[in-house]
Structure 1
Amino acid sequence: MGGILTKRDDSPLTSVPTTKLEAKILETMRRRESEGTSMKSFNTIILKFPKIDTGLRKCKAIFEQFDEDKSGSIDPKELNHCFRKLEIDFTDEEINDIFEECDINKDMGIAFKEFIVLLCLVHLLKKDPASAHPSSRMEIPDLEATFETLVDSFVFLDKNKDGYVSRSEMVRAINETTSGERSSGRIAMKRFEEMDWDKNGMVNFKEFLFAFTKWVGIEDEEDIAVE
């Protein structure tokens, strides 16, 4: 999920995007990071959890509206209808690309958590001044404010602004908040492991979003059923 790790000579490991869309998301995030962040500490992010949770749950009504066959997931045709209804000006190719990017288990269906991540990625891409459609809106301003908070949180964690959060950056972010607490390192490692799905030591924005939905308590129906 986080790309392929490469190494040249004695240079540090870097993660290379594996798809055209992943590369576009990375490039867009780096431009956004140049603007800075309003987040002052990891505690600032934690304090926003309740508001973020409320905002993300507004996605549920949208998800259910476009899950036309009530299957519990949104298929490519339904997603196309969703984009048109929300006036998101993406081409069919772009819609297919972002569907594939967020269909994590490759079952040709976007579950609720995947839908949240998908809409947040759309928010990031369409707000980019270099985008082909920066004026495109989702017509859900309250939800977009929540997505911007998530973008801001990632920018805070990515200290070197390379578009990825590394293990050391996560430790630094936690330590800035819990200075002097012996458990801070363990907390940082646990949070990082929750984000780093492919265990390559680098977390991109998509991985961060999936972890964040878990942190604030968002679950898919199948997650609840397992528990």
Structure 2
Amino acid sequence: MGGVVGKAESPKKASVPETKLEAKMVEAMQRRSSQGTNVKSFNSIILKFPKIDESLRNCKEIFEQFDEDSNGAIDQEEMKKCFHKLEISFSEEEINDLFKACDINEDMGMKFNEFNVLLCLVYLLKNGQNSLQTKSPMGLPNLEATFETLVNAFVFLDKNKDGYVSKSEMVEAINETTSGERSSGRIAMKRFEEMDWDKNGMVNFKEFLFAFTRWCGIDDNDDEDEGEGKEKN
């Protein structure tokens, strides 16, 4: 167990945002955390998986609408048009940062699950800016209810309200639900490892969202025609 030294053990670095975008994301989540959450247990989040899955799959139409060359990915130009249509205003730098953050395969195109994460991040950032919610920030009221559920789920896990979920917070959240079952620690660790894909010991909202789309099964179909997607067999 004690074989990993050095890089994995740098929690100080973990709480320093790596990009301006991450700093904004963390700040928006801290503001949101201070308002509390209506999520009572990790199980209640799991029970919402099917509904969230169904709602996110409905993004497919939006995705296809903006994937103008129908190549199964949205490039940066297509993303700008999408933002324009949805009346989402970001600076050029923010658009570049968002694209880079969500294009995790770095193949210069966002796949469907990456697009879902993008929209949810936009929701968090835009909602944080206008606390007077006179108008839905993206003009997608049905989807926004789902995004709000995801934000609430993260706030529930982020016990100390610092905009990140740590391993101990994940263990605490799962222990609350399973009340001392012996397997709960293992479940918490597995879920945490699935989220913390840069292995820095802290999970930000973007990492949480990517894990969530996998848990719900959103990206199962999206890898069918890719070589590396076949490794499950």
Q: Are residue 205 (structure 1) and residue 198 (structure 2) matched?
A: no
* Cα distance between partner residues in 2 of 1:87 and 1:50: 29
The one-letter code sitting in structure 2 at the alignment partner of 1:100 is K
3-state SS of 2:171 partner: helix
For 2:10 and 2:189, the matched residues in 1 are separated by 20
Deviations 1:89-129 (A, max 9, x none): 22333222211121112221111111001000000010114
Q: Secondary structure at the match of 1:206?
A: helix
Contact 1:112 1:220 in 2 (8 A): no
CA distance in structure 2 between the partners assigned to 1:88 and 1:43 by the alignment: 34
Say how many residue pairs are matched: 218
Aligned-pair Cα RMSD in Å:
2.1
Once residues 100 and 173 of structure 1 are traced to their aligned partners in structure 2, the CA distance between those partners, rounded to angstroms, is 31
Query: Partner amino acid for 2:28?
Result: T
- Determine the structure 2 residue equivalent to 1:21: 21
One-letter amino acid of the structure 2 residue matched with residue 146 of structure 1? T
Q: Quote how far apart the aligned CAs of 1:140 are.
A: 1.1
- Output the amino acid matched with 2:202: M
C-alpha displacement of 1:50: 1.2
Deviation, structure 1 residue 223: 2.3
Q: 1:189 to 1:6 in 2, by over 3 A?
A: closer
Deviates more, 1:86-95 or 1:209-218: 86-95
Name the structure 2 match of 1:10: none
Structure 1 78/155 Cα, relative in aligned 2: closer, same or farther at 3 Å?
A: same
TM-score for the superposition, normalised by structure 1: 0.90
* Map of 1:137 onto structure 2: 137
Per-residue CA deviation, residues 140-176 of structure 1 (Å, 9 max, x unaligned), is: 1000110000000000001111111111111111111
How far apart in 2 are the matches of 1:120 and 1:78? 18
Say which SS state the counterpart of residue 15 (structure 2) adopts: strand
Q: Is 1:43 the counterpart of 2:7 in the alignment?
A: no
Counterpart residue number, 1:124: 124
Aligned residue identity for 2:163: G
Identify, as 1 or 2, the structure richer in helix.
2
> 2:74, 2:111 within 8 Å by CA — same for their partners in 1?
yes
Structure 2 partner of 1:148: 148
Q: Give the secondary structure class of the aligned counterpart of 2:174.
A: helix
- Paired position in structure 2 for 1:160: 160
| TM-score, with length taken from structure 2 | 0.87
4+ long deviations beyond 4 Å: 133-136
- Is the contact made by 1:87 and 1:136 (CA closer than 8 Å) also made in structure 2? no
Cα offset, 1:180, TM superposition: 2.9
Post-superposition Cα deviations, 1:15-55, rounded to whole Å, max 9, x if no partner, equal 21111111111111101100000000011111111111111
Point out where structure 2 has 5 or more consecutive residues left out of the alignment: 1-8
The answer to whether the Cα contact below 8 Å between 2:14 and 2:200 also exists between their aligned partners in 1 is no
1:114 aligns with 2:114: yes
Residue 86 of structure 2 aligns to which amino acid in structure 1? Answer: L
| Aligned CA distance change for structure 1 residues 167 and 134 (closer, same or farther; 3 Å) | farther
- In 1, Cα distance between the equivalents of 2:11 and 2:174? 27
Q: Note the C-alpha offset of 1:88.
A: 1.2
Q: What CA distance in whole angstroms lies between the structure 2 residues aligned with 1:153 and 1:54? A: 17
Query: Is the alpha carbon distance of 1:134 and 1:98 closer, same or farther for their aligned partners in structure 2, counting shifts above 3 Å?
Result: farther
Q: What's the % identity of the aligned pairs?
A: 71
